[in-house]
Amino acid sequence: MPKTLLKLTVSNSLLYTMCAVAILLICLVSYMVYFLYTAKEVETPSVILALFDDLFTSKDFNKVAQKYFLPGSTGGYRNKSVLHMEYVLGDSIAEVSAYELSNSEDGYIEVTMYDEEGSPVYPRFGFFYKLTEDESKIDSYVMVRLQPFSRLNEEYSKEWMM
């Protein structure tokens, strides 16, 4: 085989390999840009929405706990969730007439509560959750009030200072 033709054959196979790798790489980069760098809208599970709809309508921690939380192996889990809701939401729930999900992602929502005049009741609260397999009840949760760092922040609450 003449030398130039041999060189051409080698270049050809290398070219095809590089073409394939380049296409794969472009696909991979596009995938990463699309899925990792694009803010995705997360749909809040219906059981979570129903929980807060019920909670802010009835304001009955016991009823909500019975309906949406797992009883737990010792039976104490539901009771604990009642105590937790009472502790985190406390008296502020009495003045709440509406709520809004201000941040929602897979396994977490942030809730802003509003009083009858439409003013926000700060601080907001966050709810981390894990649902049962059939997504009908809350298996595990963490409920917190979100206290901003700065006292100058309008969301800062002296009630949750300590």
Task: Pick one of 1, 13, 39, 117: the residue that binds another protein (CB under 8 A).
Answer: 39
**How far is 103 from 53, CA to CA, in rounded Å?**
16
| Residue 143: closest CA among 71, 37, 65 | 65
Output the six-digit token pair for 135. 């997504």
Closer to another protein by Cβ: residue 72 or 98: 72
Total residues in contact with another protein, by rule CB under 8 A: 60
3-state secondary structure of 43: coil
If one asks whether residue 126 binds another protein (CB under 8 A), the answer comes out as: yes
Burial of 134 (0-12, 13-18, 19+ CB in 10 A): exposed
Q: Is the bond preceding residue 123 a cis peptide, omega within 30 degrees?
A: yes
At residue 134, φ and ψ (nearest 5 deg) are -85, 5
The contact pattern for another protein, residues 42-81, with x = CB under 8 A and - = no contact, is ---------------------------xx-x----x--xx
Task: Pick one of 47, 93, 101, 144: the residue that binds another protein (CB under 8 A).
Answer: 144
If one asks whether residue 26 binds another protein (CB under 8 A), the answer comes out as: yes
Kindly list the residues in this chain that would bind another protein in the complex (CB under 8 A).
4-5, 7-8, 11-12, 14-15, 18-19, 21-22, 25-26, 28-29, 32-33, 36-37, 39-40, 69-70, 72, 77, 80-81, 83-85, 87-88, 103, 105-108, 110, 123, 126, 128-130, 138-152, 160
